Structure 1
Amino acid sequence: MTSTPSTHRASFAIGSEQAARRVVDLLTESLLEGEAAIAAFEGPGERWHITMHFAEPPDQASIGELVRLAAGDDVARDIAFDTIEARDWVKTTLDDLVPVLAGRFIVHGRHHRGRVPANKLGIEIEAALAFGTGHHGTTRGCLLLLDHVLKAHRPRRVLDLGTGTGVLAIAAARALHGAVLASDIDPLSVKVARENARLNQTGHLVQTIRATGFSAPQFARRKPFDLVLANILANPLRQLATPMARHLAPSALVILSGLLTHQVSGVIAAYRARGLVPLRHLRIAGWSSLLLRYTR
Structure 2
Amino acid sequence: MIAPPMLEGLPPNDATHVMRVEASRVAAQRISDMISETFDPAEVAVANFERTDNDWVVEVYAGAAFDPERLREMVEIAAGPEIASTVTFGDVEEKDWVAASLEGLAPVRVGTFVVHGGHDRGRVGPNLIGIEIEAALAFGTGHHGTTQGCLHAITDAARRGAPRRVLDVGTGTGVLAIAADRLFHTHVVGSDIDAIAVRTARANAKANKAPAVQMIHAAGAGARVLRVGGPYDLILANILLPPLKRLARPLRRLLAPGGRIVLSGLLSAQVPAALAAYRAQGLRLVSQRHIEGWATLTLAADAGRPLR
Aligned length: 249
Matched with 1:157 is: 165
Q: How many angstroms does 1:105 deviate by?
A: 0.8
In structure 2, the residue matched to 1:137 is: 145
Rounded Cα–Cα distance in structure 2 between residues aligned with 1:57 and 1:95: 23
Asked if structure 2 preserves the Cα contact closer than 8 Å seen for 1:95 and 1:111, the reply is: no
Opposite residue 235 of structure 1, the aligned amino acid is P
Partner of 1:119: 127
Q: Give the equivalent residue in structure 2 for 1:70.
A: 50
Between stretches 262-271 and 251-260, larger displacement belongs to: 262-271
Residue 141 of structure 1 aligns to which amino acid in structure 2? G
User: One-letter code of the match for 1:217?
Assistant: R
1:258 aligns with 2:218: no
Q: What's 2:4 paired with?
A: 23
**Pairwise CA distance, 1:274:** 1.3
Identify the residue that residue 281 of structure 2 maps to in structure 1.
274
Quick one: which of 272, 277, 287 aligns to 2:294? 287
> Aligned ranges for residues 51-200 of structure 1 at < 5 Å?
56=16, 58-59=18-19, 69-70=49-50, 72=52, 91=99, 94-200=102-208
Q: Give me the identity figure in percent.
A: 47
Query: Partner letter of residue 175 of structure 1?
Result: L
Moved more, 179-188 or 267-276: 267-276
Amino acid at match of 1:246: R
Question: In structure 2, how many angstroms separate the alpha carbons of the residues matched to 1:240 and 1:165?
Answer: 20
**Structure-2 separation of matches of 1:67 and 1:244:** 28
Q: Check conservation: 1:23, 1:71, Cα contact below 8 A.
A: no
Q: In the aligned structure 2, how far is the partner of 1:218 from the partner of 1:153?
A: 26
- For residue 247 of structure 2, what is the amino acid of its counterpart? L
Cross-structure match for 2:253 = 246
Per-residue CA deviations over 1:275-296 (Å, capped at 9, x if unaligned) read 2111111111111000111234
Measure the CA separation in 2 of the matches of 1:238 and 1:285: 22
Who is 1:7 aligned against?
A: none
State the 1:156 CA deviation: 0.7
DSSP-derived class of the 2:4 partner: helix
Query: Is the Cα contact below 8 Å between 2:181 and 2:210 reproduced in 1?
Result: yes
Q: Unaligned 5+ residue runs, structure 1?
A: 1-14, 37-53, 77-82
- Pair 269,88 (structure 1): closer, same or farther in 2 beyond 3 Å: closer
Structure-2 separation of matches of 1:250 and 1:67: 39
Taking a change above 3 Å as real, the CA distance of residues 93 and 257 of structure 1, as seen in their structure-2 partners, is: closer
The separation in 1 between residues aligned to 2:48 and 2:199, in whole angstroms, is: 35
Q: 1:224 aligns with which of 231, 237, 240?
A: 231
Q: Which stretch of the first structure deviates more once superposed, 190-199 or 267-276?
A: 267-276
Residue range with higher mean Cα deviation, 208-217 or 251-260: 208-217
- Give ranges in structure 2 of 5+ residues lacking alignment: 23-27, 29-45, 57-91, 304-308
Displacement of 1:129 in angstroms is 1.3
What is residue 241 of structure 2 aligned with on the other side?
234
8 Å CA contact 1:142–1:229 kept in 2: the answer is: yes
Task: Tell whether 2:11 aligns with 1:34.
Answer: yes
Cα deviation for residue 56 of structure 1 reads 2.5
TM-score by length of structure 1 reads: 0.74
Residue 93 (structure 1) shift: 5.7
Moved more, 188-197 or 216-225: 216-225
| Cα distance in 2 between the residues matched to 1:68 and 1:177 | 40
SS in 2 for 1:197: helix
- 1:23–1:67 contact (8 Å) kept in structure 2: no
Deviation at 1:92, TM superposition (A): 6.9
CA RMSD of superposed structures (Å): 3.1
- 3-state DSSP of counterpart to 1:152: coil
